[in-house]
Amino acid sequence: MRSPNTPWCLLLLLGLVVTGPATTLADPRTAERQTENVLLVTLDGLRWQEFFGGCDESLLSKEAGGVRDVAALRRRFFRNTAEERRETLLPFLWKTVAAQGQIFGDATVGSSVRVTNGLFFSYPGYSEILCGFADPRIDSNDKKNNPNVTVLEWLNQKPRFNGQVAAWTSWDVFPWIINAERSGIPVDSGWNPVSPQVPDSRRALLQTLADETPHLWDNVRYDAFTIQAVFDFLEQRQPRVLFVSLGETDDFAHEGRYDLYLDAARRNDRMIERLWTQLQSLPQYAGKTSLIITTDHGRGDDRVSWKNHGKDLTQARFIWTAVMGPDTPSLGTREKLEVTQSQIAATVAQLLGEDYQAAVPQAGTPLPGILRVPQASQQPADR
């Protein structure tokens, strides 16, 4: 999440080169779609190494991973194959999202998702995700309003989405990244007072718990508070575009605690599953919601650099992305495919039937193949 200069040494979303089997991309202006809502989730700083390979055995030690109980952590997360390890760590993402949707960024099958901003830390990464391009003016994690309009703000300006966009985030810099002051989008973040959009009785309880819980990080609240606030918010309002950013994975990595990093990733997976299940129980969302999950940056890839990220760690340019929804073909892990972080913004819009790149030409194109081709547009088979 934070810059490599962060004092702590302690995340449902994505120009392209396709060299494998071609997947026809439906025209966003003509494709019939069922998606009426989008849930975009980020897991801050979760490495592609764990996403695709699960628990990294080289970090299962006190020396490299700060692990307090190596045997217990091995029992929880280590398995014999990468497939077993990743399903153990992230069961919802691999048993549900990968099975029903698409996964981008697996280097073992010739694919990648690349960050284009060259800085590989949070504010530039989140701005690239939400705006669709890298901006050299975004070069720190300072609380300065984003001069660019995010896809969230762009959608909120449209009559059919106005007042139907919201953000709930663990890191407290998001009001500036989303430019809540200009955009008018409600952004509940960090240890700030709980949003008034949460029902009064629940807001009082959450605020009391937040005030009386020790804060390990001053500007990042625990993800459990973020996700509970989302559940409470959904009782009162049901936005069409919901952005949720979870942060513990990055902070525990900066702390050098591989055990707590893995535990946070596992909890995040469970939180996303709970949220997805809740949405599918509500008439507004059931069968009409697409999910995009991604991260803002990668990390180093050895026993020391895994704790950090930034422009000096070029390995941190590689990330991952997952997409699932009623309009997305079930293609599983995409092979021989190179995409970028800058394609996520246009993907969010395209799933909702909007052409973000036409309005923002510097933005990346939507991810390839995430929309089914209408039957009428398919060519008849040769006879």
For residue range 338-380, list pLDDT tens digits in order. 999 999 999 999 999 999 999 999 999 999 999 997 654 444 3
pLDDT one-digit tens code per residue, 249-293: 999 999 999 999 999 999 999 999 999 999 999 999 999 999 999
pLDDT at res. 162: 98
Q: What is the DSSP string of 125-170?
A: HHHHHHHSS--TT--S------SSPPHHHHHHTSTTTTT-EEEEES
Residue 10's pLDDT band (boundaries 50, 70, 90)? very low
Burial class (CB in 10 A: 0-12, 13-18, 19+), 371: buried
On the question of pLDDT at 165 being above 50, the answer is yes
On the question of pLDDT at 187 being above 90, the answer is yes
On the question of pLDDT at 18 being above 70, the answer is no
| Residue type for position 213 | T
On the question of pLDDT at 216 being above 60, the answer is yes
> How much is the mean pLDDT over the chain?
91
Burial class (CB in 10 A: 0-12, 13-18, 19+), 21: exposed
Please state, for a pLDDT cut of 70, what percent of the chain lies above it: 89
pLDDT at res. 65: 98
Q: Which helix (H) or strand (E) holds 72?
A: helix 70-77
pLDDT at res. 203: 86
Distance of CA 250 to the CA centre of its chain: 13
Residue 12, token pair as written in the block: 């449902």
pTM of the entire predicted model: 0.90
| Residue type for position 266 | R
Say whether 338 sits in a helix, a strand or coil. strand
Residue 31's pLDDT band (boundaries 50, 70, 90)? low
pLDDT one-digit tens code per residue, 80-122: 999 999 999 999 999 999 999 999 999 999 999 999 999 999 9
- Calculate mean pLDDT across residues 171-195: 95
Closest by CA to 41, choosing from 109, 5, 92, is: 92
On the question of pLDDT at 152 being above 70, the answer is yes
- Calculate mean pLDDT across residues 159-180: 98
- Calculate mean pLDDT across residues 297-323: 98
Taking the C-alpha atoms of residue 362 and residue 54, their distance in angstroms, rounded to an integer, is 35
Q: Which domains does the chain have, with CATH numbers?
A: 17-324+355-375 (3.40.720.10)
Taking the C-alpha atoms of residue 173 and residue 125, their distance in angstroms, rounded to an integer, is 13
Say whether 186 sits in a helix, a strand or coil. coil
Q: Which residues contact 90 (CB under 8 A, 6 or more apart)?
A: 51, 54, 265, 266, 269
Residue 17's pLDDT band (boundaries 50, 70, 90)? very low
Residue 376, token pair as written in the block: 């009428």
Q: What is the CA radius of gyration of the chain?
A: 20
Distance of CA 108 to the CA centre of its chain: 21
Residue 60, token pair as written in the block: 């299962």
- The label of the residue with tokens 């008018």 reads 184
On the question of pLDDT at 23 being above 80, the answer is no
